[in-house]
Structure 1
Amino acid sequence: MSTLAISNYLKDHAHQITEEWLTERVKEPGSFYSNQASPDVEKLLRKQHQHTIQLLISSFDQNDFDFREKLDEWAQTVAKSRVEHRIAIHEVIKFLGKTRTLFWEYMKQYIDQTNEDVCKHQVSEWSEMLNSGFELMIVKFSEYYHEFNEKRLTEHQALIKLLEIPLIKICDKISVLPVIGVINSERGLSLLNDIPMKCSENMVESLIIDLSGVIEIEEVVAFQLTQLVQVLNLMGIESFISGIRPEVARKAISFGEEFHAISKISSVQEVIGKKNNQM
């Protein structure tokens, strides 16, 4: 019996395999693969599952280059979709496993129905083709899933970083940098690297670093803030620190003289008043 014969049988039943796979889903609240998923999700699952079946069928072809080309396209499409929908990789692999099981059931169905004799060697060869193709699919999918997921995390971290360091313009040439939460060395380095550029882009002449929302500050961060003020001064930008909380002030006693030399103010109005007097 030829491999082409079983390949054609699977092609003829591809739609049926997909519909059976969809039917076997169960109620799983919140799951992408639930039988109660939205019509749009079901439409997407049907389309991608049909793509999956066609790829598995192509693993029986002799043209390995054609299979690997289709594999790359499939892996990118499915991985991107699952990352965008925030589906855990183990859940994806579980449902891909169900596809392999169902696919194999249809292969056995063909073997049982055919009038030709099928030797054990032929069945073993088909099984190896299926398993080999499936394993390549899992590996390639995992590679792209990791790549897209890392990219998504990087983008989210960049957005969080941007939101963590807002530069608020309060009047002409004067901006406030409100810092909230715990300042660790990593966050202090972000301030040192990003704020000078933001000040330059916004043509800031005076910057108020407001620490009223800071509940804890490390000594190394005090050094980084000192460096930030020094960099801004070299750029011609006047810098002030405001809103130091009592608990932070007590810890700040042990900080270096350069930190204590930074101009401290009690309120934003103090800087505005100072600027108005200079005009």
Structure 2
Amino acid sequence: MKVAEKFYEFMSARTWQLTEDWYDSLDKSDSSGVYASTDPHVIQTLKRQNHEFHERFCVLFKDVGQDALSNFERWIEEIAKDNEHLSTPTHYILREFFRTQDQYLGILQEFVRQHGDEFPSGRIDDFRELIIKTFSIVISKFAEENYEYSQRRLKAQQEMIRELSSPVILLNKKTGVLPLIGDIDTGRARYILEHTLAECVDRNVEHLFIDLSGVIMVDTMVAQQLFQIIDSLNLIGVKSTISGIRPEIAQTAIQLGISFENISVTSTLERALNEQI
């Protein structure tokens, strides 16, 4: 029997034991992430993913010369986009890759102790090089895929936060209120403008109350964009009323030369609603 085939059989007989040994030796004191989970379903999935890695790795010795990246491509994609792994610090995951690599190097040493006299030492060195090279390829590709999926999730979360932070709330069929809270930078101001116009059109809003009492400070560019909302709403036939303008924002608006002559302004949202509804 060829040495590669014998080593394949040697490893494939130990795949589940590798998984159990790996999980038992995990540092489960990590503050967060998949490795600290006590959920039975998560643990079962984690073990399955680990075992599938072993099965794919063993095949490299059964079919020597095949492309390692192609062999692991689907596995890498599953792990990289898995929510549990996306919630796990990357350095924890890399740590487990290297611990698994050590497991394989340990198996190779055990194989050499039992069968080293049967095969040339140069062939064993080739196996050691294949193990290290394969892990290098898999880790690099995982890091790339994991980063891309992390960026996509971050972007989706940012979009959700933006939507939640600039909601047009309907008071009745034709009237809505836009309560703005927190710091507003240029990017958020641009989003508020676009989102507000779209929401008013989609919901057939005729009168929108914009409350700025929760906005502490804005720069001149942001203030200009906020007051552009009024002009833009007017162009699409939506009447607007501003409430809760802080003195700092009012001063910035005056410095920009913004006229309040054609803008309905009240001190508080409660007063605006009592006067208009």
Which TM-score applies when normalising by structure 1?
0.89
Assess, with a 3 A threshold, how the Cα gap between structure 1 residues 82 and 172 changes in structure 2: closer, same or farther.
Answer: closer
- C-alpha displacement of 1:108: 1.3
Partner Cα distance (1:260, 1:210) in 2: 18
Question: Would you say the 8 A contact 1:209–1:241 is kept in 2?
Answer: yes
Question: Would you say the 8 A contact 1:210–1:242 is kept in 2?
Answer: yes
Q: In the alignment, residue 225 of structure 1 is paired with which amino acid?
A: L
- 2:265 is aligned with 1:264: yes
Q: In the alignment, residue 240 of structure 2 is paired with which amino acid?
A: S
Question: Would you say the 8 A contact 1:25–1:33 is kept in 2?
Answer: yes
Show the counterpart of 2:195. Answer: 194
Assess, with a 3 A threshold, how the Cα gap between structure 1 residues 115 and 241 changes in structure 2: closer, same or farther.
Answer: closer
Matches within 5 A, 1:109-258: 109-114=110-115, 116-258=117-259
Partner Cα distance (1:115, 1:84) in 2: 38
Show the counterpart of 1:50. Answer: 51
Report the secondary structure of 2:51's partner residue: helix
- Structure 2 unaligned blocks of 5 or more: none
Q: In the alignment, residue 99 of structure 1 is paired with which amino acid?
A: T
1:64 to 63, 66, 70: 66
Show the counterpart of 1:75. Answer: 76
- Structure 1 unaligned blocks of 5 or more: none
Partner Cα distance (1:82, 1:269) in 2: 43
Q: In the alignment, residue 172 of structure 2 is paired with which amino acid?
A: C
Question: Would you say the 8 A contact 1:59–1:133 is kept in 2?
Answer: no
Partner Cα distance (1:273, 1:99) in 2: 67
- C-alpha displacement of 1:84: 5.3
Q: In the alignment, residue 206 of structure 2 is paired with which amino acid?
A: E
Aligned residues: 274
Partner Cα distance (2:263, 2:143) in 1: 51
Q: In the alignment, residue 97 of structure 1 is paired with which amino acid?
A: F
- C-alpha displacement of 1:267: 4.3
Report the secondary structure of 1:163's partner residue: helix
- C-alpha displacement of 1:17: 1.4
Structure 1 stretch 51-60 or stretch 94-103: which is displaced more?
51-60
- C-alpha displacement of 1:13: 1.3
Question: Would you say the 8 A contact 1:83–1:145 is kept in 2?
Answer: no
Question: Would you say the 8 A contact 1:232–1:239 is kept in 2?
Answer: yes
Which TM-score applies when normalising by structure 2?
0.89
Show the counterpart of 2:96. Answer: 95
**Aligned sequence identity (%):** 28
Residues 20-46 of structure 1: CA distance to partner in whole angstroms, max 9, x if unpaired? 112222441534324x73333321221
Q: In the alignment, residue 64 of structure 1 is paired with which amino acid?
A: Q
Report the secondary structure of 2:140's partner residue: helix
Question: Would you say the 8 A contact 1:177–1:208 is kept in 2?
Answer: yes
Structure 1 stretch 43-52 or stretch 18-27: which is displaced more?
18-27
- C-alpha displacement of 1:93: 0.9
Show the counterpart of 2:13. Answer: 12
Partner Cα distance (1:185, 1:159) in 2: 18
Question: Would you say the 8 A contact 1:179–1:211 is kept in 2?
Answer: yes
